[in-house]
């Protein structure tokens, strides 16, 4: 319930796209999933789509430097992906690749695919199709959601955290199995490559920045929900005026 006494978030049928961008390890996936659950919205992990395409290219022996071949692969990619925040799965051609797309060999190669512009065009098309299919009620997270995929989303957020926090979180997430150098490679180097084609370090006009460096997971989710409520409350007031 908001201060205006209305419940703006859960009105069935009203469009509510929450677009979340941010660098690696900032908490986009885990926080977006929890927010989608709380808001009863669908959830789309767009990074998983780039990862699935990378898996498919490697599986088919496609040279990732061959832009035309990667673009073709994007167009034919037989992808099935969960859009429920409660059931994570990704399948390519019927093969369950949910775990495989998180392996280091995919993380090390995904930037080559994500920086292939023709492949981006196709995946962006599919992402917009998913948003529409869910009647514009979805939390969508990635690197270019607030700016390219859904620039007219009701809520647009840039989730950031200091390098130190992001490296620490990723280290814990991987069970302390990675050296400092490996973590830096997987988090900072990947961001550096990815940011040659998309901007996810500075908030575009109208995008709210949420710095989670000093927040724990729960506090970050609550801060996101607060922003969503505030934006929607403002919309309700505007509609009434
Ligand atoms: N505010 C927070 N405080 C502490 N840990 C957090 C916070 N937010 C997320 N985490 C944890 O940090 C880890 C990384 O989060 P997550 O995988 O969601 O990041 P991401 O931005 O989606 O990364 P990538 O883009 O590389 O996939 C997870 O283990 C998650 O539970
Ligand atoms: N909208 C998006 C989503 C992801 N990417 C790229 C950047 C990452 O290197 C890769 C995997 O994403 P992650 O699972 O780590 O979030 O995909 C992108 O360019 N645009």
How far, in Å, from the CA of 237 to the mean position of ligand 1?
Answer: 34
CB 231 within 8 A of CB 63: no
Inform me whether the pLDDT recorded for 153 exceeds 70.
yes
pLDDT one-digit tens code per residue, 180-238: 998 898 899 999 999 999 999 999 999 999 999 999 999 999 999 999 999 888 876 66
How far, in Å, from the CA of 108 to the mean position of ligand 2?
Answer: 12
Ligand 1 contacts CB of residue 46 (under 6 A): no
How far, in Å, from the CA of 6 to the mean position of ligand 2?
Answer: 36
pTM across the whole model: 0.94
CB 78 within 8 A of CB 123: no
d(CA 176, CA 112): 27
Ligand 1 contacts CB of residue 28 (under 6 A): yes
| Shortest-distance atom of ligand 1 to CA 32 | 18
> Which of 106, 86, 112, 93 shows the shortest CA–CA distance to 33?
86
Q: How confident is the model at residue 167 (pLDDT cuts 50, 70, 90)?
A: very high
Q: How confident is the model at residue 174 (pLDDT cuts 50, 70, 90)?
A: confident
* Angle, vertex CA 126, rays to CA 123 and CA 127, nearest 5: 85
Predicted confidence at residue 13, as pLDDT, reads 75
Q: What is the three-class DSSP state of 55?
A: helix
d(CA 82, CA 80): 7
Angle of helix 217-240 relative to helix 28-39, nearest 10 degrees, comes to 50
Inform me whether the pLDDT recorded for 6 exceeds 50.
no
Q: What is the three-class DSSP state of 87?
A: strand
Closest ligand, as measured to the CA of 183: 1
The percentage of residues in the chain with a pLDDT greater than 70, rounded to a whole number, is 93
Ligand 1 contacts CB of residue 24 (under 6 A): yes
171 or 2, higher pLDDT: 171
pLDDT one-digit tens code per residue, 90-128: 999 999 999 999 988 998 899 999 999 999 999 999 999
How far, in Å, from the CA of 142 to the mean position of ligand 2?
Answer: 6
Ligand 2 contacts CB of residue 27 (under 6 A): no
How far, in Å, from the CA of 214 to the mean position of ligand 2?
Answer: 24
d(CA 111, CA 116): 9
> Which of 29, 121, 109, 27 shows the shortest CA–CA distance to 68?
121
Q: How confident is the model at residue 178 (pLDDT cuts 50, 70, 90)?
A: confident
The mean pLDDT value of the chain amounts to: 93
Predicted confidence at residue 185, as pLDDT, reads 86
- Of 9-13, 32-36, 50-54, 106-110, the range with the lowest mean pLDDT is 9-13
CB 35 within 8 A of CB 228: yes
101: left (phi over 0), alpha (psi -120 to 50) or beta: alpha
Angle of helix 46-59 relative to helix 117-133, nearest 10 degrees, comes to 130
d(CA 182, CA 153): 35
pLDDT one-digit tens code per residue, 77-93: 999 999 999 999 999 99
Ligand 2 contacts CB of residue 142 (under 6 A): yes
Q: Is the ipTM of this complex over 0.90?
A: yes
Q: Which positions make up the binding site for ATP? A: 22-30
Whole-angstrom distance between the N-terminal and C-terminal Cα of the chain? Answer: 20
Q: How confident is the model at residue 239 (pLDDT cuts 50, 70, 90)?
A: low
């Amino acid at each position: 319930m908001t201060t205006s006494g209305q419940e703006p978030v859960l009105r069935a049928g009203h469009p509510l796209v929450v677009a979340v961008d941010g660098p690696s390890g900032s908490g986009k996936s885990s926080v977006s999933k929890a927010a989608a659950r709380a808001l009863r919205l669908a959830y789309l992990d767009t990074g998983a789509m780039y990862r699935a395409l990378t898996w498919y290219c490697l599986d088919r022996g496609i040279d990732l430097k061959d832009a035309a071949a990667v673009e073709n692969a994007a167009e034919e990619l037989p992808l099935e992906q969960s859009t429920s925040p409660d059931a994570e799965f990704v399948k390519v051609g019927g093969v369950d690749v949910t775990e495989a797309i998180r392996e280091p060999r995919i993380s090390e190669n995904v930037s080559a695919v994500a920086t292939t512009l023709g492949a981006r065009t196709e995946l962006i098309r599919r992402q917009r199709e998913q948003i529409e299919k869910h009647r514009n009620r979805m939390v969508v997270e990635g690197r270019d959601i607030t700016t390219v995929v859904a620039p007219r989303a009701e809520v647009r957020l840039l989730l950031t955290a200091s390098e130190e926090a992001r490296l620490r979180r990723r280290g814990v997430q991987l069970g302390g199995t990675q050296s400092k150098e490996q973590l830096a490679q997987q988090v900072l180097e990947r961001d550096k490559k990815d940011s040659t084609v998309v901007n996810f370090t500075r908030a575009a006009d109208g995008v709210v920045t949420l710095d989670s460096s000093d927040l724990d997971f729960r506090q970050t989710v609550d801060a996101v929900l607060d922003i969503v409520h505030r934006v929607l409350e403002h919309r309700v007031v505007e509609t009434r005026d």
